[in-house]
């Protein structure tokens, strides 16, 4: 039964561009999809491995910038003379994921040294430093003038200019990410991560190499967020330093927490709600500030009354 | 040499308000163990209240200032009563998420109320600066410095020399024993949070007229507050005081001699460096979270 | 029988007429993307206010092609990615045949690829970067001057001011950096030495580090190019740090009255390049239009400091309306063609477009008037 439902859902999703005849709504769905991928990646670190990393947008932004720069090519004179020629986009996206994964490794190692609330602050600071670097290193990133005219993905000679093909690309990556996380969580590594989240001292005492699994969670999580960032960069085709703003981390956190952290479907449900809700509210001509006030209040209410999130609460019924 | 002196003077003037921000947060984060994301919003609230009272109601600047601070204290108390009471005893993650929700709601309420256009607040001080030899400083900054010092001194007096202060220190050292000794734990929590928030609002009320008030001004202030608290050591009021001046100095020197664009990055870099090499901060208390 | 038939006929006829005009009553939508929040919010709001005055004035006179016009105003939050999102929304969702925006050069440059993609024209009312009309985008129609035009207009005044050495302080985006570049090139041609060229983030509020360096350079003049919020703070802090150089602001978005309101004494002695002088209506070419605009602006209770910015919205909407009228239909391609031939009496002067940019893909550029004013004793005076 479950398999049949899943197949039906996939069929509906796969054919969406055919029956959703509105270019603007398709655009909204694509952006929502990208955020869902990012939310799933955060869930791995926050939900499953229990690490309160609030700098997640750093990985998203690093993926976006690294991929864009690799695709556009760049020239530096300080601190050293470097010229990078433009590269094919698929290769650049991989570069983006690699750069993000590297940052994840750094954060993972740091998380072990610095715990709890301190780690929260460090992770936020890391994202802010990335933003300030993006703003000030004009030669590399163009600062507030943004990286513009980023080329779209090109596969087998076909360039992804149109919306439907971008939608399918995002859908494919989202499904792949979901399956990847699912397998990881159910694997030995995954169980170790969850053990670490539940009770670190106990996990160590039974011989689990806590550092290793923490770093693994961070790297996979970061690389996935980096992939989302790269998808974003090559779809929207413009990237500016505000991509590192804390408010995007907050958006991802809201998606994960209200959906249900530590569940597979949680970030998807949360992502759908908070990705599509703004458009629905926009149609009702509610001021954007009121929307965000509503989200803030919603988050507080969820923490009080539905602390495990929507998905687990529904499951209990 | 003149430039160095000027930077030093600028840092001194700014450091006082930074210290206020830091002390306020170290009380809440260090002692109450709440990761207070709304700290920046109280800062912005203080600035906007000055705008409202001075520019919209036309009141006297020196009357507006204590009023803005009092309103900040009241808002802090309200937040604690409404949001944090029922989370007493919950883990730090939960409280943090609630504070994030409150932060979003507050900042957007501020933007909705005052619109996104930056607000200028008139101050009664002359535009020409006070000149001391080769350096000069604006009169409004001198005023800010002295008020900040006064507030810091008041806070010290409150915490170390009053019965309330003793009750606060007792509660956060050992809650059970304090309760047994007759301390009203709930009230102490509310008062501490209100005090910390009031100090943030004071910093905003003082700096608002020096610069401008805009909805996201609290974000940078909050980040610097966290940097100061970590630098000084969680829960240490002297640490936060010294930390505030150190951060101001590092920012001024960094902006003056390294790069003006990276001014605000100094705080964050400081956080990362301290946590890597001396995680307990300069004036550490024995415990560490986590 | 006859009266009955006649009555029925009359009823049917009038129903058709009413229904027909009801259909024709569907307004012509014009998309507007402006920074209503964020670092450029003050100016963005002024432009939007000016645009709305124009909308009401045009509708009061019967609208365009028998229909009312309706501005669909979106907030691009002073952010380039957001600017692209607003363009996407206005074109795909609201189906506007023409846009006006996006205020800052960086925001306009960000939107330009979308114009190529959807082949929709945009009227540029404020941006000053030369790149906008020289990138080969035939959907750009700019009525504001380029930084290069501004610098050229200012050149004769260099001797008059007696400038020997000048510094620059600009916001580090296309607007500020472009202006610094154009003005420094012009000054070098006039034999003036260029000192330090400092920049800051559009969101910065503390300029003490930059001003300390400028003070140390010993120049007699400082050119400042940024949004009015930052100019206010720069004037105040320059006075506090005792920067001796005379300050000249460029870009036209400097709202001198607002500077007087907010910077007070610190604004005295500063000079400003503006594109509309509401204080000296006789200097303006189409004085009657300008006077009516100023009256309506004051009647609506808008800040007088915003007049030097708000007029851009008026001129922009009027140019678009005229183009739609000449095109005969609210359709992007027709409007694009019609815009090339419009001649509009605007507040800045007479608006008409010349070709600029690579051959075959030219953009349109107007040649507007540039004025220099001074703030003295809390008032704006002619230079």
Which of residues A282 and C372 earns the better pLDDT score? C372
Dihedrals phi, psi of C200, to nearest 5 degrees: -150, 160
In 3D space, the residue among C310, C348, C314 whose CA is nearest the CA of residue C43 turns out to be C310
pLDDT for A195 = 80
Residue scoring higher pLDDT (C362 or C248)? C248
Spatial distance between the Cα atoms of A164 and B243, rounded to a whole number of angstroms: 54
Diameter of chain B measured on Cα atoms: 60
Pick from C82, C83, C106 the residue to mutate for testing the A interface (most A CBs within 10 Å). Answer: C106
Closest Cα of chain B to A226: distance in Å? 22
pLDDT of residue B285: 55
Q: Which residues lie closer than 8 Å to A40 by C-beta, 6 or more apart?
A: A174, A177, A178, A181, A224, A267, A268, A271
Task: Identify the band that residue C241 occupies on the pLDDT scale cut at 50, 70 and 90.
Answer: confident
Buried b (16+ CB within 10 A) or exposed e, C35-52: bbbbbbbbbbbbbbbbbb
C334 confidence band (pLDDT: 50, 70, 90): very high
pLDDT in tens, A156-172: 888 888 889 999 999 99
DSSP B27: I
Of A257, A248, A201, A209, the C-alpha closest to A229 is A248
* C-alpha atoms less than 13 angstroms from C-alpha of B274 in its C-beta half-sphere: 29
- How big is the B-C interface in CB pairs under 8 Å? 76
Q: What tens digit of pLDDT does each residue of C70-109 get?
A: 999 999 989 998 899 999 999 999 999 999 999 999 999 9
Cβ distance C81 to A135 less than 8 Å, yes or no, reads: no
Residues of chain C in contact with residue B6, where contact means CB-CB under 8 angstroms, are 212, 241
Tokens encoding C25: 């009553």
Which of helix, strand or coil describes residue C239?
Answer: helix
Q: Which CATH number fits domain B2-116+133-277: 1.10.3470, 1.10.10, 1.10.15, 1.10.357?
A: 1.10.3470
The DSSP secondary-structure symbol of C64 reads: B
Residue B135 has pLDDT above 50, yes or no: yes
- Tell me which chains share at least 3 CB pairs under 8 Å with chain A: B, C
Look at C113 and A149 and tell me if their CB atoms are within 8 Å.
Answer: yes
If we measure between CA atoms, which residue out of B11, B70, B16 comes closest to residue B42? Answer: B70
Highest-confidence segment of A40-54, A223-237, C359-373: A223-237
- Cβ <8 Å between B10 and C208: yes
CB contact under 8 A, A236 and C84: yes
For A299-311, what is each residue's pLDDT tens digit? 888 888 887 888 8
Share of chain B above pLDDT 90, in %: 40
Mean pLDDT of B146-160: 93
DSSP letter assigned to residue B279 = T
Q: Which residues lie below 8 Å from residue B214, measured CB to CB, with a gap of 6+?
A: B116, B117, B118, B119
What pLDDT does residue B126 have?
83
Q: Which helix (H) or strand (E) holds C183?
A: helix C174-189
Could you tell me which residues are beta bridge partners of residue C376? Answer: C379
Cα(A269)–Cα(A255) distance, rounded to whole angstroms?
8
CB C339 within 8 A of CB C347: no
Strands ordered across the beta sheet of C69-75: C69-75, C28-34, C99-100, C122-124, C140-142, C363-365, C354-356
Using the Cβ of C167 and the Cβ atoms of chain B, whether some distance falls under 8 Å is answered with no
CB C103 within 8 Å of CB C44: yes
ipTM of the complex: 0.84
Name the residue of chain A whose CA is nearest to B34's CA. A117
pTM of the model: 0.87
User: Which SS3 state, helix, strand or coil, does residue B182 take?
Assistant: coil
- What is the rounded distance in angstroms from the CA atom of residue B257 to the CA atom of residue B89? 47
Q: Which residues in chain A are contacts of C88 at CB distance < 8 A?
A: 24, 27
Q: In terms of Cα–Cα distance, which of C64, C48, C30 is closest to C332?
A: C30
B156 is written with which tokens?
């010290």
- B45: closest CA among B84, B79, B87, B83? B79
For residue C276, the distance in angstroms to the closest alpha carbon of chain A comes to 28
**Sign of the dihedral through C-alpha C331, C336, C337, C338:** positive
Q: Which of C352, C295, C317, C329 is nearest to C70 (CA)?
A: C317
Peptide linkage before B81 cis (omega within 30 of 0): no
Helix (H, G, I), strand (E, B) or coil at C350: strand
DSSP collapsed to 3 states, chain A: CHHHHHHHHHHHHHCHHHHCCCHHHHHHHHHHHHHHHHHHHHHHHHHHCCCCCCCCHHHHHHHHHHHHHHHHCEEECCCCCEEECCCCHHHHHHHHHHHHHHHHHHHHHHHHHCCHHHHHHHHHHHHHHHHHHHHHCHHHHCHHHCECCCCCCEECCEECCCHHHHHHHHHHHHHHHHHHHHHHHHCHHHHHHHHHHHCHHHHHHCCCCHHHHHHHHHHHHHHHHHHHHHHHHHHHCCECHHHHCHHHHHHHHHHHHHHCCCCCCHHHHHHHHHHHHHHHHHHCCCCHHHHHHHHHHHHHHHHHHCCCCHHHHHHHC
Say whether pLDDT at C362 is over 50. yes
Write out the two tokens for A300. 């507080």
């Amino acid at each position: 039964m479950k398999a049949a439902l899943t197949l039906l859902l996939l069929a509906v999703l796969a054919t969406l561009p055919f029956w959703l005849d509105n270019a603007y709504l398709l655009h909204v769905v694509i952006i929502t999809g990208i955020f869902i991928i990012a939310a799933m990646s955060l869930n791995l670190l926050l939900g499953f491995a229990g690490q309160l990393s609030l700098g997640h947008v750093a990985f998203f932004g690093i993926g976006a910038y690294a991929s864009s720069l690799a695709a556009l090519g760049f020239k530096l004179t300080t601190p050293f003379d470097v010229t990078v020629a433009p590269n094919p986009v698929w290769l650049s996206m991989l570069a983006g994921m690699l750069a993000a994964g590297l940052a994840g490794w750094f954060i993972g190692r740091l998380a072990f040294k610095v715990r709890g609330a301190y780690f929260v602050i460090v992770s936020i600071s890391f994202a802010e430093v990335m933003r300030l670097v993006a703003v000030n290193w004009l030669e590399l990133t163009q600062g507030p003038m943004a990286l513009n005219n980023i080329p779209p993905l090109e596969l087998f000679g076909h360039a992804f200019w149109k919306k439907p093909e971008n939608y399918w690309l995002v859908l494919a990556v989202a499904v792949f990410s979901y399956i990847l996380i699912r397998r990881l969580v159910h694997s030995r590594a995954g169980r170790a991560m969850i053990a670490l989240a539940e009770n670190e001292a106990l996990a160590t005492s039974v011989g689990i190499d806590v550092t290793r699994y923490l770093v693994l969670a961070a790297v996979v999580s970061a690389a996935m967020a980096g992939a989302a960032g790269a998808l974003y960069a090559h779809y929207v085709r413009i990237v500016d330093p505000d991509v590192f703003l804390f408010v995007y981390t907050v958006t991802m956190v809201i998606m994960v927490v209200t959906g249900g952290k530590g569940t597979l479907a949680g970030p998807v449900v949360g992502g759908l709600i908070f990705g599509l809700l703004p458009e629905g509210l926009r149609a009702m001509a509610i001021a954007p500030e009121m929307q965000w006030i509503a989200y803030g209040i919603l988050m507080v209410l969820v923490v009080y009354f539905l602390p495990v999130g929507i998905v687990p609460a529904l499951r209990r019924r | 040499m003149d430039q160095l002196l000027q930077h030093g003077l600028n840092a001194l003037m700014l450091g006082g308000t930074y210290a206020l921000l830091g002390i306020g947060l170290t009380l809440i984060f260090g002692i109450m163990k709440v990761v207070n994301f709304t700290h920046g919003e109280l800062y912005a609230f203080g600035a906007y209240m000055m705008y409202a009272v001075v520019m919209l109601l036309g009141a006297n600047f020196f009357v507006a200032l204590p009023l803005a601070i009092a309103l900040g204290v009241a808002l802090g108390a309200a937040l604690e009563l409404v949001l944090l009471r029922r989370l007493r005893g919950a883990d730090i993650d939960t409280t943090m998420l609630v504070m994030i929700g409150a932060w979003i709601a507050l900042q957007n309420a501020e933007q909705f109320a005052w619109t996104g256009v930056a607000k200028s607040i008139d101050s009664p001080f002359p535009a020409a600066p006070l000149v001391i030899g080769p350096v000069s400083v604006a009169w409004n900054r001198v005023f800010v410095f002295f008020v900040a010092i006064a507030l810091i001194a008041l806070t010290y007096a409150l915490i170390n020399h009053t019965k309330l202060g003793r009750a606060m220190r007792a509660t956060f050292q050992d809650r059970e024993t304090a309760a047994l000794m007759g301390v009203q734990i709930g009230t102490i929590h509310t008062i501490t949070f209100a005090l910390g928030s009031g100090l943030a609002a004071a910093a905003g009320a003082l700096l608002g007229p020096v610069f401008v008030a805009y909805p996201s001004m609290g974000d940078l202030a909050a980040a610097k507050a966290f940097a100061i608290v970590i630098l000084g050591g969680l829960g240490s009021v002297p640490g936060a005081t010294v930390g505030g001046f150190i951060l101001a100095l590092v920012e001024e020197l960094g902006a003056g001699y390294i790069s003006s664009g990276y001014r605000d990055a100094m705080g964050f870099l400081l956080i990362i460096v301290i946590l890597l090499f001396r995680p307990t901060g300069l004036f550490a208390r024995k415990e560490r979270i986590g | 029988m006859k009266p009955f038939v006649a009555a029925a006929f009359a009823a049917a006829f009038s129903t058709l007429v009413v229904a027909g005009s009801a259909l024709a009553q569907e307004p012509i939508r014009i998309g507007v993307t402006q920074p209503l929040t964020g670092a450029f919010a003050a100016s963005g709001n002024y432009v939007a206010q000016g645009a709305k005055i124009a909308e009401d004035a045009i509708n009061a006179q019967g609208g365009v092609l028998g229909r009312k016009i309706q501005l669909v105003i979106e907030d691009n939050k002073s952010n380039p990615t957001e600017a692209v999102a607003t363009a996407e929304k206005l074109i795909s969702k609201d189906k506007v045949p023409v846009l006006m925006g996006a205020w800052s050069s960086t925001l306009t440059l960000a939107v330009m690829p979308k114009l190529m993609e959807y082949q929709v024209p945009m009227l540029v009312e404020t941006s000053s970067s030369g790149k906008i009309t020289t990138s080969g985008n035939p959907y750009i129609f700019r009525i504001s001057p380029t930084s290069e035009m501004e610098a050229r207009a200012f050149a004769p005044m260099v001797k008059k001011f007696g400038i020997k050495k000048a510094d620059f302080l600009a916001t580090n985006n296309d607007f500020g950096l472009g202006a610094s570049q154009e003005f420094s090139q012009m000054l070098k041609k006039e034999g003036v030495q260029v000192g330090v060229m400092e920049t800051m983030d559009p969101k910065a509020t503390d300029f003490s580090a930059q001003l300390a360096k400028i003070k140390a350079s010993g120049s007699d003049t400082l050119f400042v190019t940024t949004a009015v919020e930052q100019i206010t703070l720069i004037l105040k802090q320059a006075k506090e740090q005792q920067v001796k150089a005379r300050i000249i602001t460029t870009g036209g978005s400097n709202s001198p009255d607002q500077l007087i309101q907010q910077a007070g004494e610190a604004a005295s002695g500063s000079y400003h390049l503006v594109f509309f002088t509401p204080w000296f209506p006789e200097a303006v070419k189409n004085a009657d239009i300008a006077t009516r605009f100023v009256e309506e602006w004051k009647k609506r209770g808008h800040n007088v400091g915003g007049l030097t910015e708000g007029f851009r919205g008026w001129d922009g909407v009027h140019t678009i309306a005229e183009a739609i009228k000449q095109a005969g239909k609210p359709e992007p391609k027709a409007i694009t063609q019609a815009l090339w031939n419009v001649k509009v009496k605007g507040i800045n002067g007479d608006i008409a477009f010349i070709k600029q940019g690579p051959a075959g893909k030219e953009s349109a550029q107007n040649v507007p008037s540039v004025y220099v004013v001074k703030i003295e004793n809390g008032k704006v005076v002619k230079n």
